[in-house]
Amino acid sequence: MISKKLFTAVLLSLSISFLSKAQKISLKTTDLVPSQVTVKEGKYKNKNALILEIQGEVTNEKTLAVLKNIDFHNGTIEATVSGQTNSTASETARGFVGIAFRVAEDISKMEVFYLRPTNGRANDQVRRNHSTQYISWPGYPWEKLRKETPEKYESYADLLPGEWTKVKIEVKDETAKLYVNGATQPTLIVNDLKQGGNQRGSIGLWIGPGTLGHFTGLKITKLD
């Protein structure tokens, strides 16, 4: 006969396993709420994908498509993304593409990791150092973070515009880590998420100005 203590331990283990089960997301336009972007389904480099572009003029970083019915706090987000400059991009465009997390229902708050693919193999080392970026809305655009805390929220990664890039984001309370292309060590670590450790919310597919972005293979693993 199984003891009460052993039964409790097994039940707890099963509960943890259930809570942390990975959830593959079938990316459909009907499952997303766009904010200042257009979203359509298509095929890109042999993968079914969602295609995002910014619609009209924008004045803030709320340029994303937010998943419906997702409540995320701590856990892991994995996706395969591609970013490149589009036909109307300015000289300062970099193919900005990334993932937003803990997105508030009204999009008033969010944390974001994104890539600058055209920087990855630039001949200018300073541009290379700005290949990946963390920002937080409201209050912490890249310009503010770079000016007040240079190098702290940006780092290098080997990237190519228009190519599929695997990203993984690990989130735990006030800390988030970005991994690129299957690396075992994080490319960028943020130990002070600006919206605080208690913030929770949805996941968003994020792009920046002048970008043609593609997204596929989204998987979410919740820890709480």
How many Å apart are CA 118 and CA 13, to the nearest integer?
A: 45
Return all residues near 120 (Cβ < 8 A) that are at least 6 apart: 128, 131, 156, 157, 158, 159, 160, 161
Report pLDDT digits (tens) over 118-155: 999 999 999 999 999 999 999 999 999 999 999 999 99
Residue 16 pLDDT greater than 90, yes or no: no
Taking residues 190-198, what's their average pLDDT?
98
- Region of poorest pLDDT, from 17-31, 42-56, 199-213: 17-31
Report pLDDT digits (tens) over 67-120: 999 999 999 999 999 999 999 899 999 999 999 999 999 999 999 999 999 999
The confidence score (pLDDT) of residue 55 equals 85
The confidence score (pLDDT) of residue 5 equals 56
Indicate the helix (H) or strand (E) that contains 21: none
Dig out the tokens for 201 from the structure. Answer: 């919310």
How many Å apart are CA 23 and CA 220, to the nearest integer?
A: 5
Place of tokens 């972007």: 37
More confident call, 137 vs 11: 137
The confidence score (pLDDT) of residue 18 equals 44
Residue 6 pLDDT greater than 90, yes or no: no
CA angle 188, 150, 77 (to 5 degrees): 20
pLDDT grade for 3, boundaries at 50, 70 and 90: low
- 5 Cα distance to chain centroid: 41
Report pLDDT digits (tens) over 25-54: 878 999 999 999 999 999 999 999 999 999
The confidence score (pLDDT) of residue 11 equals 45
List the domains of the chain with CATH numbers: 36-194+206-222 (2.60.120.560)
